Amino acid sequence: MPSEIDVMKIIPLQDGQELTFGETIIKCIKAPGHTKGSMVYLVDGKYLFTGDAFKIENGNIKVHPYTFSDRNVAKKTIKQLKKMIDDNLIIFTSHFGIYNNNKN
């Protein structure tokens, strides 16, 4: 951490925690596997920012190729996340672009 940051004042985010910034609501969702402590963030129930939790290839959600922490845990995370993903959700991955299955 940069020397300007007081590590003792950092409060870790919790699974299911919601942060509100004005009219924007960000839900924190635990997503282990790629790395310990990974989270994805659901913004206003419409946008899912996944970081490296998974990749999307040809419309399919798959384990990120550089998942060295625990591939089996990553697969379980993906299975859980798939339950919440619907056609109206726009997904932003860190290295594999944006995915929107909405045909409208």
The CATH number covering residue 62 comes to 3.60.15.10
Integer Cα distance of 72 and 28 in angstroms: 21
Determine contact, residues 45/86, Cβ cutoff 8 Å.
Answer: no
Residue 45 within any structural domain of the chain: yes
CA–CA distance from 77 to each of 8, 37, 92 (Å)? 30, 12, 16
Q: Into how many domains does the chain fold?
A: 1
Task: Write out the two tokens for 42.
Answer: 């659901």
**What pLDDT, on a 0 to 100 scale, did the predictor assign at position 98?**
78
pLDDT band of residue 30 (cuts 50, 70, 90) is very high
Handedness of CA 28, 86, 58, 69 (dihedral sign): positive
99 lies in a domain?
no
Residue 43 maps to a domain: yes
pLDDT at 24: 98
Between residues 13 and 99, which one has the greater pLDDT?
13
User: Would you state the pLDDT for residue 103?
Assistant: 52
Band of residue 68 on the pLDDT scale cut at 50, 70, 90: confident
Q: For residues 77 and 35, is the Cβ–Cβ distance under 8 A?
A: no
Q: Does residue 1 sit within a domain?
A: no
Q: With left for phi above 0 and alpha for psi between -120 and 50, is residue 18 left, alpha or beta?
A: beta
